[in-house]
Chains A and B, each alone.
Chain A
Amino acid sequence: MNQKNTLTLHQTMLRAAGLLSLFVVLSVALLMAINWFTQPKIIEAERQALLQLINQVMPAETYNNDLLADVRFVTEPDFLGSPEPMAIYRARLNNQPAGLVLQTIAPNGYSGNIHILVGVLPDGRVSGVRVLKHRETPGLGDKIELRKTDWILSFNGKSLTEQNANRWAVKRDRGEFDQFTGATITPRAVVGAVRKTLDYVNQQGVALYD
């Protein structure tokens, strides 16, 4: 009688374990199927999102190469603000250099890193700057986003030369870029990061297109 009871318990446990395994196997199979189905769509969506961002700083009509494939990664913590490799996309029109799109980070924002995309034309002028990701204070520091104010457009067409290097700062630091009321640190960080990026591009020159 006792033995029969343990056997039943044993059987119950086996049955429970079997059922649980069955459920897990079914779940995993379902997940694999959905993953197989959505993976290509997700990769395509990622590409489109990235390309759309890049085209904001480097207009699509100015180049005709496959920009996302023409990428080079450089590790320049002093210039691009991150110890990680950063992407440089090279735009070309009929195989002639048409511009660079650099990923950079302003590590000195008010709350953490500000991820920035900078487009630079072959003659050194800025074709556009956009903030990709930041955690600045809503309503104050987030004016660096284009959907809040068009401050970020004030970089357009500017270039960095030895003569104007000290003008690359916010007004409080005797530069020519506006700061925001109540938020100086954020624009100062962005201006600094863009300036360092241009500095890097000027130093490297056409070698970046190789």
Chain B
Amino acid sequence: MTNITTAKQTLTGKWQAYQEIAQKGLWNNNQALVALLGLCPLLAVTNNSVNGLGLGLATMAVLLTSNILVSLIRDFVPSEIRIPVFIAIIACAVTIIDMLMQAYFYTLHGILGIFIPLIVTNCAILARAESFASKNPLDKSIVDAVFIGIGFTAVLVVLGGLRELIGNGTLFDQAWLLFGDGAQSWTIHLSDAYNPVLLAILPPGAFIGLGLLIALKNVVDAKVKKPSLVDIPVEVKTAS
């Protein structure tokens, strides 16, 4: 009887831990909006939502592979050589994904081109390996990789979508590169009367767009925080 309750308790404890990791990855510690890691590829490929999604998924795949492997070997690798081993794992994962993309998504690979090998230098991945996967068990590391990956991908897609919408007047253009010929009709066109604002898809648009997204996140955070700030003084009063 007690066994079952403790098992239940650990299970709920686990879920809570997962939830916390998920919330951090998606929002509180979003790699693109808060940690500001991996911005070089992020800014460069987001002139289109499909490009953003492609790079986001590739990054997530690398992150998942590296977190799993790093977590599995965390007890065997002496701390002196952990960083070179992490880098070997990450570089290996990136090269594999590069080759698989070339084999199965050739055209998309042509567009994302140099940014795939550059995932090796995306500090977000090494940062997760060092600060999370090397200190946590496999299950938590997988949850961390998935949600950090989703958080990063979401920013890439939203930024890409915004820039594409404003700068090109379309959404999900070229989706067939990722989803095959069935996606030919996915492209959403604004009316022909819309005059695209070129700045949005040029490099400055990336910086302005990301800045606005970060600002938006901070505004939301401030809005959410406000009620609890009001609560605190009340609590203090009752305590005294």
A: residues with CB less than 8 A from B are 12, 15-16, 19-20, 23-24, 27, 30-31, 34-35, 38, 41-42, 45-46, 48-49, 137-140
- Which residues of the partner chain B approach A48 to less than 8 Å between Cβ atoms? 106
**Contact status B96-A34, CB under 8 Å:** yes
Binding-face segment, B22-30, B36-44, B82-90, B129-137: B82-90
**Docked complex: B52-93 residues within 8 A CB-CB of A:** 76-78, 80-81, 84-85, 88-89, 91-92
Say yes or no: B78 contacts A139, CB within 8 Å. no
Query: Which residues of the other chain, A, contact B106 by a CB distance below 8 angstroms?
Result: 42, 45-46, 48-49
Across the interface, do A30 and B96 meet the contact criterion of CB distance under 8 Å? yes
A38 interface neighbour in B76, B103, B201, Cβ under 8 Å = B103
- Distance in angstroms from B205 CB to nearest chain A CB is 10
B residues contacting A by CB (< 8 A) are: 47, 76-78, 80-81, 84-85, 88-89, 91-92, 95-96, 99-100, 102-104, 106-107, 110, 167-168, 196, 198, 201-202
The contact sample of 14 A-B pairs, CB cut-off 8 A, is: A15-B78, A16-B78, A19-B77, A19-B85, A20-B81, A23-B89, A27-B92, A34-B95, A34-B99, A41-B103, A42-B102, A45-B102, A49-B110, A139-B201
Interface centre among B91, B102, B104, B167 (most CB of A within 10 A): B102
Chain B residues whose CB sits within 8 angstroms of the CB of A140 once the complex forms? 198
Identify which of B47, B89, B202 contacts A27 (C-beta below 8 A). Answer: B89
Nearest 9 pairs between A and B by C-beta? A41-B103, A45-B106, A27-B92, A38-B103, A139-B198, A38-B99, A16-B81, A42-B102, A20-B81
| A50 CB, min distance to chain B CBs, angstroms | 10
With A and B bound together, what is the CA distance between A116 and B114 in angstroms?
22
Instruction: Tell whether A34 pairs with B81 under 8 Å between CB atoms, given A27-B89, A49-B106, A138-B198.
Output: no
Q: Closest Cβ of chain B: how far from A85's Cβ, in Å?
A: 22
The residue in chain B whose Cβ has the minimal distance to the Cβ of A139 is B198
Question: By CB atoms of chain B within 10 A, which of A20, A30, A46 has the most?
Answer: A20
Q: Is B47 a contact partner of A19 (Cβ separation < 8 A)?
A: no
Given known contacts A16-B78, A49-B106, A42 and B88 CB-to-CB distance under 8 angstroms = no
What is the distance, in angstroms, from A27's C-beta to the closest C-beta of chain B?
4
Q: Which residues of A contact B196 (CB under 8 A)?
A: 139
Partner of B81, one of A19, A31, A139: A19
Contact A34 B100, beta carbon cutoff 8 Å: yes
Partner of A42, one of B78, B96, B103: B103
Q: How far is the CB of A183 from chain B (nearest CB, A)?
A: 12
Residues of A within 8 A of B110 (CB): 49
Residues of A within 8 A of B102 (CB): 38, 42, 45
CA distance A30 to B102 in the complex (A): 17
Q: How far is the CA of A24 from the CA of B89 in the complex (A)?
A: 9
Q: Known A42-B102, A45-B102; judge A19-B88 contact (CB<8 A).
A: no
